Amino acid sequence: MIKKEEVKILLVDADFIWMEEVKVALEEDGFRKIKVCVDGEAAIREIAESEPDVVIVDQITTHKDGVAVIQHIRDSKLDIEVILTTRHTSDILLWKASSLDVQYIIVKPAAEEIIVARVNDIVLMKEKNTLPIEMDMESYDNSEELDDNPLMIIDEIGLESNIGRILMAFGIRAHLKGYKYLKTAIVMTIINEHVTSAMTRELYPQIARRFNTTDTSVERDMRHAIETAWSSAPIKHKKAYFGNQYLKAHADRKPTNSLFINTIAEKLRQNLKGQIALMSI
């Protein structure tokens, strides 16, 4: 059990008043180890010194912007969860945030309670991700993950987190290489539905470049993750996403990478209903 008072949080924002309001809200919720920085370079120094568990960084900061700070975290191979705040979203920013494995994008103005809720989500997910790797599907309660609603109506700042939850509900665990490749592919497909029409020429190479690996490894690890999990995935989740007709027609076949990615992405796209500019990855 992760104790809130032990979670180290770093707030990075040029708006000192807003930071203080968020800091107070986090403290009222039980978090105690909270530090603040007003510019990106100071944040990078603080990250190297204290290695926080969660960094909440605004895209517009002096000296180094939010993306540069997050890039430093990923280049340093630090196990830090990131929330990016911004007043303006764009496909480019969402794309970049996806490649840097940002847990949430929160669009300002946002109530302090939203920040607190997302930090609590991260703590909860970190607890779940510490489940033993050998734990089987029966010993892990997927119904709790999906709140009894396998289609999961997506809120405006939970896209990437919800993709992760869907993959885990299907039995695709975060320790598998294919997990992060599939998550990235689904985000890319939601943003550009045509990208999967050229899996070999476009999607696999783009993901390979992001993760410094090969096209072949991306394809193989995705396929391995799907095939490993499919036979034990709960039938209600298969039906919710793939439908009875598909399951009856292909009872003994596992979905291809392209079919799996497109199916999950299309369900999520339907739920977003124009909210893509507010999404999180």
Instruction: Please list the rounded mean pLDDT of every run of 10 residues in the chain (281 residues).
Output: 87 89 92 92 92 92 88 88 84 74 82 88 70 29 39 45 82 87 87 79 88 92 92 85 82 86 85 45 41
User: Distance of alpha carbon 248 from its chain centroid, rounded?
Assistant: 32
How many domains does the chain fold into? 2
Residue 65 burial (C-beta neighbours within 10 Å; 0-12, 13-18, 19+): middle
- Shared domain check, 278 and 147: yes
Q: Give the domain range for residue 155.
A: 134-281
The DSSP annotation for 102-153 comes to -SEEEESS--HHHHHHHHHHHHHHHHHHTS-TT--GGGS-HHHHTTT-TT-P
- Shared domain check, 76 and 115: yes
Choose one of 104, 130, 156: the last residue of a domain.
Answer: 130
- Shared domain check, 117 and 41: yes
Q: How far apart are CA 209 and CA 153, in angstroms?
A: 32
- Shared domain check, 69 and 155: no
- Shared domain check, 162 and 258: yes
Do residues 127 and 2 touch, judged by C-beta distance below 8 A? yes
CATH number of the domain at 239, please.
Answer: 1.10.10.10
- Shared domain check, 145 and 275: yes
Residue-level pLDDT at 159? 65
Q: How far apart are CA 41 and CA 43, in angstroms?
A: 5
Choose one of 115, 130, 145: the last residue of a domain.
Answer: 130
- Shared domain check, 121 and 43: yes
